[in-house]
Chains A and B, each alone.
Chain A
């Protein structure tokens, strides 16, 4: 049986490349499996465009985008990393030169997004705007879904926030799509798969017993629940306490740091000061 190939176009907007680096940290499957192997039996990704990884440069790689958009309509997956600068019609970020002009991030996301089968917005910048969209949002950065809505683009968007996103939130979402189809993804009201974003950090936190007993850290480095020094785990939806980070080595709260709330749309303005207690009332 022939292998079913899913072409992937990966665009980087107003980003730090941290979500790409995080996906490079994937353990099982590893990044080389994502790039070169059948990810699940009979099905394989084919990464046609990724500026940090691809061999080519200049005009020939922009041709890849043109060709994909034109000849593979509704036949490729678009991954967007980074926010989309929309001020001045997108002039603050471009991914290359097309037809002698800057090919803006805004235009590339519009064009490639319109013709994609599905769009994965990865990281908090691509989902909700993130740090580039923090006050005063100098370049009027927006997330993919907001841009699609404004431009009347109907391609479905799956949001995989995080600063960066956990590599398994990416590989796990791809797995659901390949095994059961995109419709099988059970999304919350923010279009995040509940499989990964379905429970509060607080519900699974190893310091939860300290919270219940009223034992609170007062300074960084103290034992106890980190609520008083700014932990946002009580309203942040992610499975970090169960999954942990970097092959299960550690994660923020285990390392003695408050949860930054980095998967939520309020990050970073609504979740800062980072080291100050924030109540539900502050968030409203």
Chain B
């Protein structure tokens, strides 16, 4: 017998998301994911001073604003002809600001967004909001172990706050830093700031090593069936990120399901719209030529997310993609970190393609970034510049590709008469939570849900655990809309 499970809202993610699953004999046959808020950022950006994109696009998302600050700065560097002139200090400070945001985002995700699906908060603090109501049943941790995880939930609130404070040393404030700008950064790398940053980083690093990673391993041992749930599409994509004087921390690459590495070229990205509320004539375009022609009454459509594809294939983005990409490209540090965690389970890299694998990849990545940040800090040169002068060209084009906490993010700009003529953003959640494409291939999250056995349809833990493991960010992904001329009711997801 076929039944529908509708979860609206999906909470403990960034933004507004609904999930619908059709379950047949206890197994998901069909899944739909859709955002339920539309703001129209790219339309708002048209006609503005190009530099303002660097400040305004951060406001797409308050959890990972630095991802947009970074991608837009790289995009504007490109359009302004500055890419080869960015001082080493600026690259390092940008990476330190962004790295701080990474650590806060990953720690927040595990403890404050995902953990309540595994940890029994009610057992530790009592039957009180915001820990009730909740799904009931499958909480397998109890007693002291549970109490300790709840303590770490509280401790992690402090640590993630301290990540933001560390970020502000060079970023000015957080959320929405002011330090990353086209041409470099506004803060100078003085010795007092370097030492201040270093000691804050030390405390955060210790938390990641001694609490975060052990907690992920402990939860994984108790819920080890989730290494076999939520496999996903198997094809991974990383644009590469953290642009340092010595190269990128995250390597660029496309990884096939049989772990073969393929080269990446941004020209191979297209966006399908057959199942999105946009005109079919805009389907299949590269974002540099991207168009947004809303058609909210379009039949077959069920999402305002487009379907980004690479050479027509569905890809998953995020920590899983980055860690596997680094791994298959022989990055020794990544390999050691990944192997040490997988060794706890006598598992191979293929175990990463799962609900728990995504959490493990994220935790490993936090350690990789935190360790690298120490090297970046000590590479700063206090007597050298951290910014170059910039001029807005009369016309030009630019692209900025980076890796956000949730996966690869790209910004594209066209400048005309010194103003923004076109601005396009493709976010990682747009890839991961995309609807079916023109060929009918479901998006990465949809594929991860399809085939899952749901034990209790009133408490479908399996579905929310799969969705949250991707760390969706909806504010990032649904920003393309000219809302005029549509009618109430057309946004129904069902």
Q: Give residues in A with beta carbon < 8 Å to B.
A: 12-22, 24-27, 30-32, 35-36, 46-58, 60-64, 85, 87-97, 101-102, 105, 130-132, 134-136, 138-141, 163-164, 219-221, 245-247, 249-252, 254-257, 260, 268, 272-276
Contact = CB atoms under 8 A, between A and B. Distances in A.
A21 B62 contact: yes
Nearest to A219: B389
A266 to B, nearest CB: 14
Nearest to B155: A32
Nearest to B14: A17
A252 B59 contact: no
B481 interface: yes
Contacts of A19: 62
16 contacts: A18-B62, A25-B161, A48-B129, A49-B129, A55-B134, A63-B133, A91-B488, A94-B491, A131-B56, A139-B483, A140-B483, A164-B175, A245-B172, A256-B188, A274-B51, A274-B52
A97 B8 CA distance: 6
A96 B8 contact: yes
A32 B62 contact: no
Given A85-B38, A268-B56, A272-B49, A102 B129 contact: no
A48 B184 CA distance: 43
A118 B184 CA distance: 44
Given A93-B37, A139-B481, A257 B172 contact: yes
Contacts of B6: 58, 97
B312 interface: no
B395 to A, nearest CB: 18
Given A91-B486, A276-B49, A136 B44 contact: yes
Interface string B164-197: 1101111111111011010110111000000000
A92 B480 CA distance: 12
B487 interface: yes
B428 to A, nearest CB: 16
Given A24-B157, A138-B482, A221-B188, A61 B133 contact: yes
Given A54-B130, A91-B489, A257-B179, A250 B169 contact: yes
B352 interface: no
Nearest to B15: A17
Given A19-B62, A131-B39, A273-B51, 16 more contacts: A13-B37, A36-B125, A53-B130, A85-B483, A91-B483, A95-B9, A97-B6, A134-B44, A138-B40, A246-B165, A246-B174, A247-B165, A256-B187, A273-B49, A273-B52, A275-B52
A92 B59 contact: no
A14 B243 CA distance: 32
Nearest to A104: B488
Given A56-B134, A97-B8, A246-B174, A102 B491 contact: yes
A254 B132 CA distance: 42
A27 B51 CA distance: 33
Interface string B61-101: 11101000000000000000000000000000000000000
B492 interface: yes
Q: Which 3 A-B pairs have the closest CB atoms?
A: A18-B62, A255-B172, A138-B40
Contact of A57 (B10, B36, B179, B492): B10
Interface in B439-460: none
Nearest to B480: A138
Contacts of B328: none
Q: Is chain B's interface secondary structure helix, strand, loop, or mixed overall?
A: loop
B133 A250 contact: no
B410 to A, nearest CB: 19
Given A17-B14, A93-B16, A254-B172, A48 B61 contact: no
A13 B18 CA distance: 15
B386 interface: yes
Given A95-B16, A256-B187, A251 B172 contact: yes
B55 interface: yes
Contacts of B301: none
B201 to A, nearest CB: 14
Nearest to B387: A221
A15 B16 CA distance: 10
B36 A35 contact: no
Interface in B1-27: 6-16, 18
Contacts of A134: 44
Given A138-B481, A139-B483, A131 B44 contact: yes
A55 B165 contact: no
Nearest to B158: A30
A22 B133 contact: no
Contacts of A48: 129-130
A250 B15 CA distance: 28
B161 A46 contact: no
B452 to A, nearest CB: 17
Given A138-B39, A221-B184, A18 B9 contact: no
A160 to B, nearest CB: 15
A50 B12 CA distance: 9
Contact of A22 (B18, B37, B175, B483): B175
